[in-house]
Amino acid sequence: MSEREGELDVVSLENEEDEDIPDVATCQRLVEQFAEITGTDEACAQFYLQDRKWDLQWSVNAFLEARSGGIKILNDGDEPEVVVTFDSQMVSVLSAATEKPPDKFCFITWNIDGLDDKNLKKRTKTIARIIERERADIVFLQELVPKTFTYLENLLPQFVFVVGDTRDYFTATLLRRTTVYFDAHNIVPFENTVMGRNLLCVEAHIGDVKLNLLNTHLESTAEHSKERVEQLTLAFTNMKSCLPSSTVIFGGDLNIRDKEMSSVHPPSNFFDLWEACGRRPECRWTWDTERNTNKEMPGRFKPKCRFDRVFLRSAESPLVKPQHFGLLGLEKAPGTQSFPSDHWGIIVHFEIVKRANDSASSQSLSLIRPSTSK
């Protein structure tokens, strides 16, 4: 650390080989912002930022935890949980400090199986830890129940929760307060549902990127195939109605079977992201009773399905490109013999690309298509 308090050691920064370190001017700005948020000096700011790849939010959180200020210990009958609290002043300062919008973001969708009481609190806590560990920006959750909803709000105060309902079981869309900004929402009811299902539509933005986020849990079980296909068709219709200037992400627990999917035919500019990211076979099945033992299935046949899916329609510019598609929740919740849910979660990493030339939409869409088919 520099001997002159309040100044950056420019020589050491310029010689640093770590690609994660920004330029000197950006480092100085981050140091000043950290000091303003925490009420400390720039020497302390350098100490925290340098150890955390100059990530402002991560560094502030670490400082708060170390000082036991701005945090609370959640004693809920389970092991104590450290929860960082974001009061209105903290959120305001952090938001103002983020002058440059991110050029990437992380998305998760997960049916968290709130209807199963077995190890529910520990499973839910594990899901919250995974969401934060992955530094997700946008999260679609399905099958919340009132008690897991309240619990997750306590565990994840750094997110805005937008819910599709608050009775029985329902969906919620979570937006990280310092990266994704909520604009509006509405709920589209499914008139044919017998299970209280709907389409939760959230409008938000990340810098110049306008987002339409459509989260749903379609009708369950094989005997409700007709209703499910009608609901999926309605969801695609809502996707098509979004403005061309908006990036549309649609997903959730669709409960869809491959033969049902083939009868719906999504529009040509909508991309199934498992397919667009290379069709990796290890990421295909999101409800897999061979690997996931939360639901014991009698007999030798262990069904597996791609119930959970994510679709993207990117705007012409800025272009949102999927970079990675993976699964979450593959390890059992600590202290239990249960996985976090009977569904695997889906995680997708996106890159935001600003193109100088916004000529043709087909040119934009070609950037999303997989280069090879498997």
Active site residues: 253
DSSP bridge pairs for 109: 140, 346
- SS3 string, 160-221, reads EEEECCCCCCEEEEEEECCCCEEEEEEEEECCCCCCCCEEEEEEEEECCEEEEEEEEECCCC
The sign of the dihedral angle between the CA atoms of 39, 41, 46, 48 is: negative
Distances (CA, A) of 40 to 3, 6, 90, 99: 17, 11, 14, 21
222 vs 220: CA distance, rounded Å: 7
Per the CB < 8 A criterion, the answer to whether 218 and 308 are in contact is: no
Amino acid occupying residue 346: I
What the block records as the tokens of 231 is 């609901």
CB burial class (10 A; 0-12, 13-18, 19+) of residue 12? Answer: exposed
Distances (CA, A) of 200 to 96, 189, 373: 29, 9, 32
DSSP assignment letter at 283: G
DSSP characters over 224-274: GHHHHHHHHHHHHHHHHTS-TTEEEEEEEE----HHHHHHH---TT-EEHH
